[in-house]
A and B are shown apart, each in its own frame.
Chain A
């Protein structure tokens, strides 16, 4: 099913038609997450001041220490925002578990055979090989996004566990607090490494423009959905048709009832 040989009027119709891709809850959670990450990453990097590790430039450390007044205040700010972030994210996941998270995770996170094939082809295509090869149809999220989501979920759990270990310092033996620090660091920066790609693809890469705006409006055009997420698009079509059938059936039944009641 290539999207390349569709007549113009049909294309125009598809470009006009909008399909809902994201729930408002997920959009808000996403942008809350972005805001938290900006605050947490900047302050977190500023905390790491060990000269032996040599991670953070001195001016960055000093800027944040001057901003907050001391090491302790900087750390307090960091973990306060951190706890807020943990609370909101967990709240949204657990409270919205059945309504948002389970459909999200079950339909949008699991890899299938098409995704594996896609992973074999897409990176090569990005490097300029195998241009002739047709990409297998994708679900609401393509295989790259799905793999990213696995990393994010695992690392987020890692961050949420190791952070509080360092905050509630009197409850844990030193060895645990020692291990928690590099784990926290690795989890954060694995996500940050992926973030370069994530942000580029989302905000800068021209083909994915619709995906970027869908993180505000929640909607993508049917044309985009069809081209990028065919499986999901077909699913939506099927649901729409079922809905139409149901409506027609209801209308038929009600008119039938009216007729029968009118006959009395």
Chain B
């Protein structure tokens, strides 16, 4: 889906020190409830044997995919991919917080805010982008680990960082006939299979690797059972009245008393 802007995060894993300033900045900027976080940092834990030790911290948030699996399941159209910025956003006025999209997101980037009964997630701080500022997490990042910019603009910070990168990793999800094409580009990401969660709130997924898109029982039942049933019922009744109507047209109208 070609959009006017192609916003993307470029995150240099080697520069992240797990200070969590981005989590705080994000929560303050977006009034995120205390028991949730829109973004988080994975802790790989110590790798290797002494003296050859390594440790990586992987900042994580909504990937603003090119083909988001979450918008595929949203019934009311509350979750959508914005046509100009290309960001995946939630219209919380239209959202009822059912969580179909929460199950569908391969990255676990969404949560349900039950106090308002809506789904919430990283918005790349659209309110800041509109006035020409960087997202709060990017603006506050001490080590310049998080970068953000428009990939359609070759002079943007993100484009330049990608151009000069030694290694670029994208945690792509392909499955269920979908190719998500996420828009977080990790620089210097070590072996991803070993990276597990250091879980701040019990809210974040256990692995950096995308999990398969899931469909809740009611969503799958709706698609696989309810729609065929309804289609058959409506088809049958429509056919029945169509037959009688044609019969009536062919035979002409007979009033019952005649």
Contact = CB atoms under 8 A, between A and B. Distances in A.
Interface in A232-253: none
A179 B218 contact: yes
Interface in B74-109: 74-78, 91, 93-100, 102
A170 B117 contact: yes
B237 interface: yes
Nearest to B217: A178
B98 A49 contact: no
Contacts of B257: 11, 15, 223, 227
B114 A173 contact: yes
Interface stretch (B7-15, B19-27, B51-59, B247-255): B247-255
17 contacts: A50-B75, A53-B75, A71-B93, A72-B93, A168-B117, A173-B114, A174-B102, A175-B99, A178-B99, A178-B100, A182-B222, A185-B230, A196-B234, A197-B240, A200-B244, A201-B241, A227-B257
Contacts, number: 145
Interface string A48-69: 1111110100000100010000
Nearest to B93: A72
B108 to A, nearest CB: 15
Interface of B: 71-78, 91, 93-100, 102, 112, 114-118, 215-219, 221-223, 226-227, 229-230, 233-234, 236-238, 240-241, 244-245, 248, 253-257
A258 interface: no
B15 to A, nearest CB: 37
B94 A70 contact: yes
B255 A207 contact: yes
Interface of A: 11, 15, 47-53, 55, 61, 65, 70-72, 75, 126, 166-175, 177-182, 185-186, 189-190, 192-194, 196-197, 199-201, 204-207, 209, 223-224, 227-228
A185 B91 CA distance: 22
B254 A182 contact: no
B226 A192 contact: no
A53 B255 contact: no
B246 to A, nearest CB: 12
Given A182-B221, A189-B230, A49 B75 contact: yes
A47 B78 CA distance: 10
B237 A126 contact: no
Given A47-B77, A53-B223, A75-B76, A193 B91 contact: no
Nearest to A206: B253
A204 B248 contact: yes
A91 to B, nearest CB: 26
Contact of B256 (A178, A199, A200, A227): A227
Given A166-B96, A207-B254, 4 more contacts: A11-B257, A71-B94, A180-B98, A205-B244
Contacts of A227: 256-257
A186 B255 CA distance: 36
A177 B234 contact: no
Nearest to B235: A193
